[in-house]
Structure 1
């Protein structure tokens, strides 16, 4: 399944930024800036794609922080690497359900516009919990409502036609069962934001 998703995004990598992806970037910027990520934070950008939110993450963490951009589609990573650089930015080709990171590696894990495409969501959320430091935060966010996200994927069909963002109750349960606390979900007209914290 993840091979199909990987192929889908690899095939579209070269034209991704021209396919209307940036049309709602103002909402994405508002979401990322609104997270209040602290200077010096170590942040994982899950499903970074061509790097839409990387500039805002780098701005948030400052020179003393670090951003790791992860994606399963290597062509997406190549474009992101060509567009963005810095001594405090690195790119990793991996699946969020099985990462190479040590325990407690990150202060923040941000999954922007990609959670529906995660094949093994249980393992992915467990992995987020493992790689977050105690007190660290996981965020799943979209620059559309849950209903719009799912409708778009059904419309596109093919490899992503069944890639759905689970219901609010299921999302809360996924993160709570993995050990997260303070799980909150906002599903508005123009955005979906779930936040959860790893206990201290």
Structure 2
């Protein structure tokens, strides 16, 4: 029981705590992230190619990290497209700056749950390793749907399959995880998306959804 002198947790305080914890976690790892995972870039390129992101469109890399997807996203949309890289952690955006400059991508400090973009502003969203870090999958997917035009794409990717990722973190997969096939199909449908592809392989996770 919460004592009368203890303020109850509010959505605003929970959100501030999430932001603080996320930034603390990734800030301390940003400088060495590519040393550990930089060889994943071919996987990012393959995922972007498989997604079929429209040439000349607006694509947002949500949770861009160090910007490993940005070269492939620029190639996908071509010279006339727009590439935006958004991340919650300033240190990650600092690491992404060289990739962003090469890809002519705008860097935006932003929370994936409250993106600073207009409704239907994007033709495609790319989100690598994002969903598992968010406290409420359906709420986040609803926000991603808000900024995506009808028929636009959401690419969910990780350069390791769910089993490999679970083993890396010393845990066992469960059927109720956000990226399990059943929960992801339900959460995408409830938030304005139609799941069109799902591939949980040994060496990658790839899911594609279209905006309803």
Please classify the TM superposition score into its range, dividing by the shorter chain length.
0.7 to 0.9
C-alpha RMSD over aligned residues: 1.8
What number of residue pairs does the alignment pair up? 190
Shift of 1:93: 0.8
Q: Secondary structure at the match of 1:84?
A: helix
Q: CA–CA distance in 1 between the matches of 2:38 and 2:33?
A: 9
Q: Secondary structure at the match of 1:51?
A: coil
| 1:184 correspondence with 2:197 | yes
The answer as to whether partners of 1:176 and 1:183 remain within 8 angstroms in 2 is: no
The answer as to whether partners of 1:181 and 1:197 remain within 8 angstroms in 2 is: yes
The answer as to whether partners of 1:49 and 1:71 remain within 8 angstroms in 2 is: yes
Q: Structure 1 94/122 Cα, relative in aligned 2: closer, same or farther at 3 Å?
A: same
Q: 1:18 aligns with which of 35, 40, 44?
A: 35
Paired position in structure 2 for 1:194: 207
Q: 2:186 aligns with which of 158, 167, 173?
A: 173
The answer as to whether partners of 1:65 and 1:88 remain within 8 angstroms in 2 is: no
Q: 1:82 aligns with which of 98, 114, 133?
A: 98
Q: TM (normalized to structure 2)?
A: 0.83
Deviation >4 Å, runs of 4+: none
The answer as to whether partners of 2:71 and 2:99 remain within 8 angstroms in 1 is: no
Q: CA–CA distance in 2 between the matches of 1:114 and 1:151?
A: 18
The answer as to whether partners of 1:40 and 1:65 remain within 8 angstroms in 2 is: yes
Shift of 1:62: 1.1
The answer as to whether partners of 2:120 and 2:146 remain within 8 angstroms in 1 is: yes
The answer as to whether partners of 2:198 and 2:206 remain within 8 angstroms in 1 is: yes
The answer as to whether partners of 2:84 and 2:105 remain within 8 angstroms in 1 is: yes
1:1-200 paired onto structure 2 within 5 Å = 1-19=18-36, 21-85=37-101, 88-154=104-170, 165-199=178-212
The answer as to whether partners of 1:110 and 1:138 remain within 8 angstroms in 2 is: yes
Structure 1 alignment gaps of length 5 or more: 156-163
Q: Which of these two proteins has the greater Rg computed from alpha carbons? A: 2
Structure 2 alignment gaps of length 5 or more: 1-17, 172-176
Q: Structure 1 165/180 Cα, relative in aligned 2: closer, same or farther at 3 Å?
A: closer
